[in-house]
Amino acid sequence: AQRVTQPEKLLSVFKGAPVELKCNYSYSGSPELFWYVQYSRQRLQLLLRHISRESIKGFTADLNKGETSFHLKKPFAQEEDSAMYYCALSAAGAGRRALTFGSGTRLQVQP
């Protein structure tokens, strides 16, 4: 069975401080990992995926297969980053494509 763990329910930082949202997973096969974000009064939307290896809104995430982690990082937090962040996993390749979500971490960036 696949599982995604986000150990922090709430992460509060000051503007300009570094941010790291933790995500650990367990899956026996080859996973695809995603970060989804939900801003206040907006839909859940994709932030980034490990395959793309890109930086979105200053956020990056590296898949560490040895530690089974996919932590989300940003060097300098902005107030507009305040939102609910979900780490999600899907089996890579063909077949079942539904996502397994973590329980989410609420990021609060204080001025």
Partner 1 sequence: NAGVTQTPKFQVLKTGQSMTLQCAQDMNHNSMYWYRQDPGMGLRLIYYSASEGTTDKGEVPNGYNVSRLNKREFSLRLESAAPSQTSVYFCASSGINRVRNQPQHFGDGTRLSIL
Q: Could you say whether residue 101 binds partner 1 (CB under 8 A)?
A: yes
Q: Which is nearer to partner 1, 48 or 109 (CB)?
A: 48
Q: Which is nearer to partner 1, 37 or 77 (CB)?
A: 37
Who's near 69: CB < 8 A, 6+ residues apart?
22, 23, 24, 25, 63
Q: Which of residues 5-44 bind partner 1 (CB under 8 A)?
A: 6, 9, 32, 34, 43-44
* Dihedral, 24, 28, 31, 34 alpha carbons, nearest 10: -30
Query: Is residue 35 a contact partner of residue 87, using CB atoms and an 8 Å limit?
Result: yes
Closest distance between partner 1 and the C-beta of residue 93, in Å? 7
Element (H, E) at 105: strand 105-110
Q: Which is nearer to partner 1, 15 or 97 (CB)?
A: 97
Q: Of the listed pieces 1-9, 11-19, 55-63, 74-82, which binds partner 1 according to CB under 8 A?
A: 1-9
Q: Using the rule CB under 8 A, which residue among 71, 104, 107, 109 binds partner 1?
A: 104
Contacts with partner 1, residue ranges (CB under 8 A): 4, 6, 9, 32, 34, 43-46, 49, 51, 86, 90, 92-94, 96-104
